[in-house]
A and B are shown apart, each in its own frame.
Chain A
Amino acid sequence: MSGKCTNNVDLSLLGDVMKEYKNIKGSLITILQNAQEIYGYLPDEVIKYISSETKIPAARILGVATFYTQFRFQPVGKYLIILCQGTACHVNGSNMILDAISAELGISDGQTTDDGLFTIKTVACLGCCSLSPVMMINENTYGNLTTDKAVKIIRDLRGEQ
């Protein structure tokens, strides 16, 4: 759990989602997914709000949220780098790509750069195995990576700032 949350969270954004799902049993994961879509992560206030609306104890909501890798409790950077570590990517050197990106950005898996630009997250498989090694940055997929190519992509994105 993140502890502090300095941003003011506008809970009204969740109004429609709560209206649609709060009375349908078994919808907790769907509600959490919608909330993360809106806020980019799950702030404390949102967990408490969902709890008060659905009458599910906050502890149980957190129990569910922390079980699944999709949910985040910290804001992510402007560019979310999702690096595939699936079997095909592994066989084709995805570890070296992770090392190269980590070295370039000075952060490791799961961390965000101080300037709030980049977050690195590894995942089990993106399913683009024929293009391995693969990474996704926001909506774009980059395949057949080499360490040089990966670092260049990051530098280009940083250059656009």
Chain B
Amino acid sequence: MRILVGEGSCGIAAGAGKVYKLLDNKIKSESLDVKLNVTGCVGMCYLEPIVDIYSDNGELTRLVRVDEKCVDSILEYIKTNDIESVKEFIVSDEDKEFLNQQTRIALRHCGVINPEEIDEYIADDGYKALTKVLTTMSPEQVIEEIKKSGLAGRGGAGFPTWFKWDAARKSKGKEKYLICNADEGDPGAFMDRAVIESDPHNLIEGMLIGAYAIGAQEAIVYVRAEYPLAILRLKEAIKQARERGYIGKNILGTEFSCEMKIKAGAGAFVCGEETALIESLEGQRGMPRLKPPFPAESGYWHKPSNINNVETYANVAWIINNGGEAFAAMGTEDSKGTKVFALTGKIKRGGLVEIPMGKTLHDVIFDIGGGIRDGRKFKAVQMGGPSGGCIPAELDDTMIDYKKLGATGAIMGSGGMVVMDDSTCMVGMAKFFLDFTTKESCGKCIYCRIGTKRMMEILERISNGEGKEGDIELLEELCMSIRDGSLCGLGQTAPNPVLTTLRYFRDEYEAHIKEKRCPAGECTSLLTYSIDADKCKGCTLCSKKCPVNAISGSAKKVHIIDIEKCIKCGNCKAVCKFGAVRCS
């Protein structure tokens, strides 16, 4: 019997570490004949911690929301082999659908193998693609295979991968670098972290194949410092790969040599932009460079360099093993293969979703994600983080495809998919993203640095009920100027969240400005709290929880809120068990 505990960051946050320790102690103290191991993240984040039990004939029993109490039931199961003992924790058929409807390529090993053991990766065709490439293919043939696959950059822009590789290969000079952008900065996106934590060798193999294709002798992974577990697992994986001769001099006895190292980022969103990332790698402030020259010509230390993100490299070994055509057979005319999304927000089943391109947003949100939590109404989905936009519910039949998503004003992006219900204010959402880009602007371009600040002030004004006629037009004008007047992607796309919410939810902006009303009931300055005399039971709870003593009334009597004193914190509404606190 084999037991796997899912220890990705979210699993650990949900308590998987404690579960593992308890199991380990008990298995050792009772000398049970069980192999206990960790695995990465299977992507069913809403069911963490997850424990997988494989019987000797390979049959899987998946237990979900495992707490410390469940550990005893698992031990009981180990001893008696009676499934009844763990029955209440077994994943439901409905939840199984979350995975059944996915097609996994980049995530194929996630939650399946032990990321800290190179042998488990090798046993599942690991490093087979690298061996094939180094022993039977020329760099040009590798690039040709990637071209056939139609693989495009999964970091967001969707630029053809083969084109970048080809340009870097053809650039003059012997010293070349291959870089992996693992500076996953979009708030609400965590696919890359999951790949590194759960299947680091897949990333390493993809990078080595890329390095061979462009002729690089050194590969560097730039990882966000906020991902300590990813850095730890990648470090260990690089060490193991080096010991087995996959990294270093004369790899697998061939002429090809390549070193690999990790550089930790230091917390700057703009470093996700490739030239800013290079500046940061060189130990400088992460400010973008003027393009051209593109990194393929002059990148790290002004040598030819190729940069792709984690998910892009994570597809490479599969493409080499299965052929470019197999990858291109999935997806649409414009967008080939699969894409991983981090499905979060007001969704019932949140987690990592990998699907072939061409599925609709509705497929992902309702069939895989199970729809909206708490029976509320689906309002919009935000894609592409601060560079992307909000797509309204009525466009949920939009296909997941670079062009089709682009036509809505949003972008495919790196894969953040944040679902919103009718309690989310779209002005507030635009403000949230703009606040982010305002803070993360490196300051090099005036429009990005000051323009976003001015836009922020207007949005603040609107959500405080001080919006005026002409504010929307002024916002639109600023959006255009910032888009045109910024050097890098951060500034050029910063207006997107505002532009898309203006396009689809203009009436919500107008309600804030003209009627001084927030239709979603989120902008606190525009809200008035009151107590419904018919529903109030006089339980006194609201008055106890009010931080400013604005609620008066005695036990079993109807309570009243003093609007002058009220700071609109919402505590009373949150604690009222009778739904008596109104907010309008």
**Pick from B14, B185, B574: contact of A124, CB under 8 Å:** B185
Do A143 and B14 touch across chains, with their CB atoms under 8 A apart? yes
Q: Is B285 interfacial (CB 8 A cutoff)?
A: yes
Chain B residues with Cβ under 8 A from A142's Cβ?
13
Q: How many residues of B contact A (CB 8 A)?
A: 56
Q: How far is the CA of A92 from the CA of B420 in the complex (A)?
A: 10
Complex CA distance for A127 and B191, rounded to whole angstroms:
9
Which residues of A from 6 to 62 have beta carbons under 8 Å from B? 25-30, 32-33
Max count, chain B CB within 10 A of own CB: residue among A27, A88, A130: A130
B521-542 with Cβ < 8 A to chain A:
none
Do A147 and B571 touch (CB < 8 A)?
A: yes
Contact with B along A121-142 (1 / 0, CB 8 A): 0011111111110100000011
Q: Which of chain B's residues has its CB closest to A69's CB? A: B267
Type the 1/0 row for B248-277, where 1 means its CB is closer than 8 Å to any CB of A.
000000000000000111111100000000
CA distance A70 to B264 in the complex (A): 11
Find chain B residues with CB under 8 A from A129 CB: 45, 188, 190, 342, 344-345, 350, 418
Does B267 contact A141, Cβ atoms closer than 8 Å?
A: no
B463 CB to closest chain A CB (Å) equals 12
In the complex, the answer to whether B226 meets A127 with C-beta atoms within 8 Å is yes
Whether B10 contacts A26 by the Cβ 8 Å rule is no
Docked pose: A27 CA to B282 CA in angstroms? 7
In the complex, the answer to whether B268 meets A143 with C-beta atoms within 8 Å is no
Task: Please encode chain B, from 420 to 444, with 1 for each CB lying within 8 Å of some chain A CB and 0 for all others.
Answer: 1000100000001100100010100
B467: Cβ under 8 A from any A Cβ? no
Interface centre among A90, A132, A134, by most chain B C-beta atoms within 10 angstroms, is A90
A3 at the interface (CB under 8 A from B): no
Q: Is A5 an interface residue (CB 8 A)?
A: no
- Minimum C-beta distance from A90 to chain B (A): 5
What is the bound-complex CA distance between A37 and B286, given in angstroms? 21
Contact A134 B13, CB 8 Å, known A67-B285, A126-B226, A127-B226: yes
Q: Which residues 78-120 of A have a CB within 8 angstroms of B? A: 85-88, 90-92, 96, 99, 103
Taking the closest CB of chain B, its distance from the CB of A132, in whole angstroms, is: 7
**Interface membership of B363, Cβ < 8 A:** no
Let me know if A87 and B382 touch, CB within 8 A: yes
Considering the chains assembled together, what is the distance between the CA atoms of A143 and B14 in angstroms? Answer: 7
Q: Are A88 and B264 in contact (CB under 8 A)?
A: no
Assuming the contacts A123-B226, A124-B269, asked whether A130 and B187 have C-beta atoms less than 8 A apart, the reply is no
Q: Does the CB pair A27–B285 fall under 8 Å?
A: no
B351 at the interface (CB under 8 A from A): yes
Instruction: Determine the residue in chain A with the shortest Cβ distance to B269.
Output: A124
- B281, CB-defined interface residue at 8 Å: yes
* Contact-size category for A: 35 or more
CB proximity of A91 to chain B, nearest CB, Å: 5
Contact indicator A68/B266 (Cβ below 8 Å) = yes
B25 at the interface (CB under 8 A from A): no
B-side contacts of A131, CB under 8 Å: 10, 13-14, 45, 48
B226 contact set on A, CB distance < 8 A: 123, 125-127
CB neighbours (8 Å) of B416 from chain A are: 87
- Bound-state CA distance A83–B433 (Å) is 17
- Give the chain A neighbours of B10 by CB distance below 8 A: 127-128, 130-131, 143
Answer whether A85 and B187 are a contact pair too, CB < 8 Å, given A26-B283, A67-B286, A129-B342: yes
Q: Does B186 count as interface, using CB distance less than 8 angstroms? A: yes
Q: How far is the CA of A70 from the CA of B223 in the complex (A)?
A: 13
Q: Which residues of the partner chain B approach A68 to less than 8 Å between Cβ atoms? A: 265-268, 286
* C-alpha spacing A130/B420, complex, angstroms: 14
Known A-B contacts A29-B280, A70-B266; the reply to A64 vs B420 at CB < 8 A is no
User: How far apart sit A27 and B220, CA to CA, in the bound complex (Å)?
Assistant: 13
Contacts of B268 in A (CB 8 A): 67-69
Min Cβ gap A10→B in Å is 24
Q: List 9 A-B contacts (CB under 8 A).
A: A26-B283, A29-B266, A30-B283, A70-B267, A125-B226, A127-B189, A127-B190, A130-B10, A130-B48
10 nearest A-B residue pairs (beta carbon): A130-B45, A86-B187, A68-B266, A141-B13, A87-B188, A28-B283, A69-B267, A127-B190, A129-B344, A88-B344
Q: A124-B269, A129-B45 are in contact. List 14 more A-B contacts (CB 8 A).
A: A63-B285, A67-B285, A68-B268, A87-B344, A87-B382, A103-B547, A125-B185, A126-B226, A127-B184, A127-B189, A128-B190, A129-B344, A147-B571, A147-B574
